[in-house]
Amino acid sequence: MMAKRIVTILPDLSFEEALEVTKIYSIIGKNEAQGIMRTRPFRNPHHTISAVSMAGGGAFPKPGEVSLAHHGVLFLDELPEFKHSSLEVLRGPMEDRKVSISRVQANLTYPCNFMLVASMNPCPCGYFGDKERECKCTPSQIQNYKNRVSGPLLDRIDLHIEVPNVKFKSFENTKEELSCKIKERVEKARKIQQERYAEYGIYTNSELTPKLMEEFCVLSSSSKSILEKYFQKNKLSARSYSKILKIARTIADLEGSENIKDKHILEAIRYRFMDKR
């Protein structure tokens, strides 16, 4: 449910973005808007999908799910159930934001600037770590299940969050926040980023290069020591380290804070569940 709602809190498509999305859907004859498509795409292919359908291709090269999710969300439910080949083809497109398909007749390039959202269980039966129900999986079954998602793919995912089972009772008294309210905060943070990076040709914190991070993700000495300790304890990759910095920068922007503070670093670390050893 949360995955499906993500497109509702993202900023509206700009005119250029809307044109790009419309063109892609026109290629496969699935432009249902009868004009320019205004909503961000949400794609959730089934786990039996082939690598070709995921990345694009075929005898008459068509855009794949990664391109149909351009400027929107690609949601992979039950990530470890997907074929290894279909997940590995995501790595290139996630880095390059485009896919090239070579055929004898022509070389085609489709854009694929999508947000990947995925879900998985803690183990094959789904109850590992549950306080109420017993997990019947063996440690090796759990390890095999987790290993189906490769380290390099996981390394490209910015946020990992553990979501415990919700008890029926806790639905009462939940304060709901409407998507349109959250969207306002997201738009405000995006605007801060667009203005900050206007002269650098990027739009968001996630696009920061190591050099730009030195300028825009400056840490106090206390924030640095929090991060260093966490880094050593969990033996993180350099990629994880820079992701934490970018997430902290975004949390600070959502708060309208010019500087990254200790609490932003601590919150960013909480969104890196899979880093923990």
Distance of closest approach, residue 142 Cβ to Zn ion, in angstroms: 7
* 148 or 196: CB nearest Zn ion: 148
* 89 or 137: CB nearest Zn ion: 137
How far is residue 54's CA from residue 135's CA, in Å, rounded to a whole number? 33
How far is residue 159's CA from residue 205's CA, in Å, rounded to a whole number? 14
Q: From 139, 110, 105, select the one nearest 122 (Cα to Cα).
A: 139
Q: Are 9 and 182 in contact (CB under 8 A)?
A: yes
CA 224 to chain centre: 25
Q: Does 120 bind Zn ion (CB under 5 A)?
A: no
* 83 or 146: CB nearest Zn ion: 146
Distance of closest approach, residue 143 Cβ to Zn ion, in angstroms: 12
Q: From 85, 105, 113, select the one nearest 202 (Cα to Cα).
A: 113
Q: Does 123 bind Zn ion (CB under 5 A)?
A: yes
* Structure tokens, 113: 């600037």
Given 125, 157, 159, 182, the residue binding Zn ion (CB under 5 A): 125
Q: Does 227 bind Zn ion (CB under 5 A)?
A: no
# of chain residues touching Zn ion (CB under 5 A): 5
Q: Are 256 and 188 in contact (CB under 8 A)?
A: yes
Distance of closest approach, residue 123 Cβ to Zn ion, in angstroms: 3
Distance of closest approach, residue 234 Cβ to Zn ion, in angstroms: 24
* Structure tokens, 171: 């639905």
Question: Applying CB under 5 A, which part among 15-23, 82-90, 119-127, 156-164 lies near Zn ion?
Answer: 119-127
Question: Applying CB under 5 A, which part among 8-16, 71-79, 96-104, 122-130 lies near Zn ion?
Answer: 122-130
Q: From 18, 114, 103, select the one nearest 65 (Cα to Cα).
A: 114
* 54 or 137: CB nearest Zn ion: 137
CA angle centred on 99, ends 97 and 34, rounded to 5°: 85
Question: Which helix (H) or strand (E) is 116 found in, with range?
Answer: strand 115-118
Distance of closest approach, residue 147 Cβ to Zn ion, in angstroms: 15
Helix residue spans in 69-203 (DSSP H): 84-88, 91-96, 139-147, 151-155, 179-196
Binding mask of the shown chain, residues 61 to 100, with x at each position contacting Zn ion by CB under 5 A: ----------------------------------------
Distance of closest approach, residue 148 Cβ to Zn ion, in angstroms: 15
Q: Does 128 bind Zn ion (CB under 5 A)?
A: yes
* 127 or 271: CB nearest Zn ion: 127
Contacts of Zn ion in 130-169 (CB under 5 A): 135, 137
How far is residue 55's CA from residue 49's CA, in Å, rounded to a whole number? 10
Q: From 215, 195, 229, 208, select the one nearest 260 (Cα to Cα).
A: 215
Distance of closest approach, residue 81 Cβ to Zn ion, in angstroms: 15
Provide the binding-site residues for Zn ion, judged by CB under 5 A: 123, 125, 128, 135, 137
